[in-house]
Each structure stands twice: as C-alpha cells, then as structure tokens.
C-alpha cells in the first residue's frame, strides 16, 4: 500500500468534514484507516485540481486589490507576478473592480493569440521541403593536376627542333662567309698528298689504324661499339629522363664522346708528313678544310 503524506491526509479530512457538514470525526462503526482511505479517494480529484491551479487561488485572494499596485509578496508569490495578474484582470474586465480572470484562461489566451504569429514549418502551399545549404563550388569541385612526363609533339617538340635547325643553319652561313675554303685542283693518281688524311669525322678511325691491326681497328672495335648501342636500351630499362636518375648512362656516353674527340683532335692537328706525330706550334698544321 502506498504511504500517503500526513499533510494530504489532514487536508482530506478537513475537506470531507466541509462536504458532510460535520466536525471531521469518523462515522460510527468506521475505523480511522477506512475514513482516511475514503476521504483520500473522494478528494483526490479536488487535490489534483487545487495543485494544478495555484495561480487562480492566489489571484482570487487579491481580487479586491485591483485598484492598488501590488509591491509586496503575498503567500509566497512574487510581487511582480501578482502585479501582472492584477493588470490582466483589469484589462479583461474593462477596468471594472473585482473581475478575476483565471491564470489558466489567461495563459490559454496568450497561447492562442501568439499562435498565428509563430513561425510555421510549412511553406505557402503546405510544402515542408527545406532549402539546401549553399556551398561554394570550389570546395566540392577542387581538382589537383598531377605532373606527367608526356607532352604533345606539336608544338612542344617541333618548335624546339625548328629553333635548333635555324640556329645551326645561321652558324653555317656565318662560318662559310668568314672562312675561305677554296677548292683544290683535280686529283692526280700519280701524286698522293703527304699526309693523306680522311675527313674529320673519320680521323678517329684512321688514328686507331696507327695503333692496332686493321682487322681490330676497322672491324672489331667498331663492331663492338655498334653491338653495345643495340643492347643499351635492353640493359638500361630506366625510363626516367632526369639527369639525376641516369647517371650511369650519361657517364658512359660522356666517356665515349671524350675518347672519340681526342682521337679526332690528334689526327687533325698532331699528325704531319707520313702521318707522323708532330707538335702543331713547332712544325705547323697539316690539315686542310
């Protein structure tokens, strides 16, 4: 059984005494527990109503003071709430003294009045769709370009090649204009120039003929060079075109160019009569353009 607080039991007994017109004593033949239970059962709705509307009872207590401003607390109710209730009663009664408007009715009126002005979640035609958030296109369409090693042949490659060919042609025109290179006489089969030198691009091979057997200098060494050039792409599979990544290939090609350039320079300026070794600053240059 639920234990009922003492103050509620006392209030129920007083209420029952008022309703029955007695002094609150128990009826003959009825125990205190039965009287208390009966009183509690009868007065439960009244207690709920009294607890639900304390503002109305407080407003009724000060019903006769509508003409005076309330500045003091009464029965535990703050003065500003009492003053607000008094002004509302005066406004509802049109200025007549003694008119009381229940607080629940005033609250209901306030809610009903403010309801039409409250923002609604629906649109003009009853639609409930909400607007999407506006987002800048840059934050959702950001693209990052990745570096690639490939470019189009035109115009990137062909423009460079055209500029290089024009530069070489200009250098050849300037060189041919400044350097006099007359043609020699007709060749005489009975008289061979001394020394007889090959063109400059073959002077390296002619220089090797003075050092090795013709089979080695003319067939073996050039054949090995051509074979190495053929297998070079298969031996070095590095596809990078950055100098830092191709140090071995660049070193080998540089050594080949330096070796061949030295042979050409020796055959052109350091070989004299009989293709003997001479010093150009002492015996002269035996080389014709």
For the chain, what is the domain count? 3
Q: What is the CATH number of the domain that holds 261?
A: 1.10.287
**65 band by pLDDT with thresholds 50, 70 and 90:** low
Residue 167 and residue 101 share a domain: no
Q: State which of 114, 141, 164 marks the end of a domain.
A: 114
Residue 199 and residue 279 share a domain: yes
Residue 21 and residue 40 share a domain: yes
Q: Give the residue ranges of DSSP H helices in the chain.
A: 6-20, 32-52, 54-61, 79-92, 103-114, 137-140, 158-178, 203-209, 214-215, 221-235, 247-269, 280-283
Residue 21 located in a structural domain: yes
Boundaries of domain holding 179:
152-183
pTM for the full predicted model: 0.39
Residue 48 located in a structural domain: yes
Instruction: Report yes or no: 79 and 73 within 8 Å, Cβ to Cβ.
Output: yes
Residue 98 and residue 166 share a domain: no
Residue 289 and residue 248 share a domain: yes
Instruction: Report yes or no: 100 and 60 within 8 Å, Cβ to Cβ.
Output: yes
Residue 97 located in a structural domain: yes
- pLDDT, tens digit (0-9, with 9 covering 90-100), for 158-197: 999 999 999 999 999 999 898 877 777 788 888 888 888 8
Residue 234 located in a structural domain: yes
- pLDDT, tens digit (0-9, with 9 covering 90-100), for 229-243: 898 888 888 888 888
Residue 136 located in a structural domain: no
């Amino acid at each position: 059984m639920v234990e009922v607080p003492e103050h509620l039991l006392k209030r129920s007994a007083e209420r029952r005494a008022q309703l029955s017109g007695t002094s609150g004593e128990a009826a003959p033949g009825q125990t205190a527990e039965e009287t208390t239970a009966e009183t509690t059962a009868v007065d439960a709705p009244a207690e709920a109503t009294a607890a639900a509307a304390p503002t109305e009872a407080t407003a009724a207590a000060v019903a006769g003071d509508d003409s005076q401003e309330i500045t003091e607390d009464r029965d535990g109710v703050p003065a500003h709430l009492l003053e607000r209730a008094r002004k509302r009663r005066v406004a509802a009664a049109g200025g007549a003294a003694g008119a009381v408007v229940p607080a629940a009715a005033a609250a209901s009126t306030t809610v009903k009045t403010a309801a039409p002005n409250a923002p609604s979640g629906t649109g003009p035609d009853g639609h409930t769709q909400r607007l999407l958030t506006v987002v800048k296109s840059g934050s959702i369409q950001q693209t990052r370009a990745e570096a690639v090693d490939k470019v189009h042949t035109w115009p990137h490659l062909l423009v460079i090649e055209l500029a290089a060919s024009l530069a070489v042609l200009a250098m050849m025109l300037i060189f041919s204009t400044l350097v006099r290179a007359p043609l020699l006489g007709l060749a005489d089969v009975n008289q061979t120039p001394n020394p007889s030198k090959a063109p400059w691009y073959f002077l390296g091979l002619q220089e090797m003929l003075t050092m090795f057997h013709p089979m080695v200098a003319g067939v073996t060494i050039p054949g090995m060079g051509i074979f190495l050039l053929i297998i070079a792409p298969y031996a070095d599979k590095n596809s990078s075109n950055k100098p830092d990544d191709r140090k071995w290939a660049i070193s080998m090609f540089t050594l080949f160019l330096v070796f061949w350039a030295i042979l050409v320079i020796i055959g052109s300026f350091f070989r004299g009569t009989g293709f003997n070794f001479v010093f150009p600053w002492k015996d002269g240059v035996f080389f014709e353009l």
